[in-house]
Amino acid sequence: MKKTNGFYSESFKLRVVLEVLSGSITKEGARLRYRIGGNSTILEWMRSYAAQKSCTFGDPLTLTPERMTDCSDKLALEERIRALEAELEYLRLKSRAYEILVDIAKRDFNLDLKKKHGAKQLANSKRSTPR
């Protein structure tokens, strides 16, 4: 069997775990159906979700569809928050890099790249009519 990439979304992991816990499929059946590498990967997912306090599974026979959606929605939202926080951190770093670039241009090349808020446009521009 071809080895697959080991990165799965939290919502996908939860969906697979809930399918196995509900009894609709076995761990091995889910591993083969979704082409999940590793013989104990799903078992590890089950253990990690069972350890989380935010999503209690309880008895697999009492697992209801409403309970599955609530838990998967919460995990999907938490995953979205993590992605947005990572993007925010990236944009902060990018902004800081631009600030450093402007400072270096000012210091080394005597270029003032910052916008002048009080500056006015020239009255005699080459292109007087808009295209």
> Concatenated DSSP letters for 2-68?
PPPPS---HHHHHHHHHHHHHTSS-HHHHHHHTT--STTHHHHHHHHHHH-SSS----GGG--HHHH
CA distances, 108 to each of 112, 113, 115 (Å):
11, 12, 18
Number of structural domains, the chain? 1
Check if the beta carbon of residue 20 is closer than 8 Å to that of residue 32: no
For the segment 95-118, the average pLDDT, to the nearest whole number, is 89
Please indicate, yes or no, if residue 111 is contained in any of the structural domains: no
Please indicate, yes or no, if residue 97 is contained in any of the structural domains: no
Domain coverage including residue 52: 10-83
Please indicate, yes or no, if residue 93 is contained in any of the structural domains: no
pLDDT of 23 reads 85
Please indicate, yes or no, if residue 76 is contained in any of the structural domains: yes
If one compares 53 and 30, the residue with the highest pLDDT of the two is 30
Please indicate, yes or no, if residue 20 is contained in any of the structural domains: yes
What is the band of 120 on the pLDDT scale with cuts at 50, 70, 90? confident
Residue 90 pLDDT > 70, yes or no?
yes
pLDDT of 1 reads 47
For the segment 63-87, the average pLDDT, to the nearest whole number, is 78
For the segment 99-116, the average pLDDT, to the nearest whole number, is 89
If one compares 119 and 37, the residue with the highest pLDDT of the two is 37
Please indicate, yes or no, if residue 77 is contained in any of the structural domains: yes
Please indicate, yes or no, if residue 88 is contained in any of the structural domains: no
